[in-house]
Amino acid sequence: MDGSKNTTALILKREPYREDDSLVTVYTLDFGKLSLIARGTRKLRSKLAGHLEPLTLSEIMIISGKGLDYIGSALGREVYQPIRQDLNKLHYAGRAISIFSRLVKDSEPDRRLFFLIVDWLAALNSFEDLSSESGDLLLAFFALRLLGELGYKPEMYKCLDCGKSVKPGRNYFNLLNGGVVCEACFLKESGRIGFQVTNILTISDNCVKIVRFILENEEGRILRMKIDKKYLKELSFLVESLLNFYF
């Protein structure tokens, strides 16, 4: 068919569009994030609608339109049933998809991003008896890896200002520049006019170690970590602060 193209797509969002149609946001393997019209999917007898539910991995045909392109066909390949049946898993999947949708730009294909979220969902899908602690850790892993792929990987080994190796003690995290600052440099900078303390977080030695470990290892090893709830809370706050600061 002229003007059509096929690809694998993760369905991120679906919302009403006009009387019987839907506007579907997808992240595709070949074309990046797209907003597409799905015709007739609000009708009760629609055969297409079930393959375009959010949190579905589908094979889709995209057909060129005068304005927005539209979905000519779709076939669900993975519906992540264990996630859908577990409210805790569904919560973390929803948060990950929300972060992904917020951070990733439209129409910029990147296979690394596609497999990052698809592989992460597969890990979440297969995880048994997911606790809130494991969910928080898995979500932090996803967010930090996503930031890294987008060019915002935090510097956790050297002080951003003096370039020396970060040593145990009192250190800080500079949200503006995305990395650790040693105490000596922090004290030097804090005396200057225009210094913004709101850009700075204190960071414990354990949190520095945890972020380093997350950035260097895969999900399996991450989820075997035993982390005190105090440091898991600190990690979650750091990651959320980074996401809010940049985006």
Q: pLDDT for 178-196, tens place per residue?
A: 999 999 999 988 777 566 6
Whole-model pTM: value is: 0.92
- Find, among 194, 157, 192, the residue nearest to 178 by Cα: 157
State the DSSP H helix or E strand holding residue 133, giving kind and residue range, or none if neither: helix 132-149
Mean pLDDT, range 159-164, rounded to an integer: 97
Q: Hey, what are 34's tokens?
A: 């797209």
Banded pLDDT at 1 (limits 50, 70, 90): very low
What's the pLDDT score for residue 2? 58
Instruction: Give the N- to C-terminal CA distance of the chain in Å, as an integer.
Output: 39
**Domain 4-78 carries which CATH code?**
2.40.50.140
All CATH 2.40.50.140 domain ranges in the chain, comma separated: 4-78
Token pair in block for residue 204: 């414990």
Is residue 42 pLDDT above 60, yes or no?
yes
Residue pLDDT, tens place only, 133-155: 999 999 999 999 999 999 999 99
Confidence of residue 66 (pLDDT cuts 50, 70, 90): confident
- The proportion of the chain whose per-residue pLDDT surpasses 90, expressed as a percent, equals 85
Rounded to whole angstroms, the Cα distance separating 30 from 247 reads 25
**Can you tell me the mean pLDDT for 16-40?**
96
CA distance 193 to 190: 8
Res. 14: pLDDT tops 60: yes
Q: Is the pLDDT of residue 52 over 90?
A: yes
**209 pLDDT more than 80:** yes
Sheet holding 179-182, edge to edge: 179-182, 171-174, 200-203
Provide the token pair at 212.
Answer: 């380093």
Handedness of CA 235, 148, 102, 95 (dihedral sign): negative
More confident residue, 1 or 61: 61
Of 96, 108, 57, 101, whose CA–CA distance to 219 is shortest?
A: 96
Q: Could you tell me which of 110, 83, 102, 91 has the C-alpha nearest to residue 143?
A: 102
For helices 229-246 and 205-216, the axis angle rounded to 10 degrees is 70
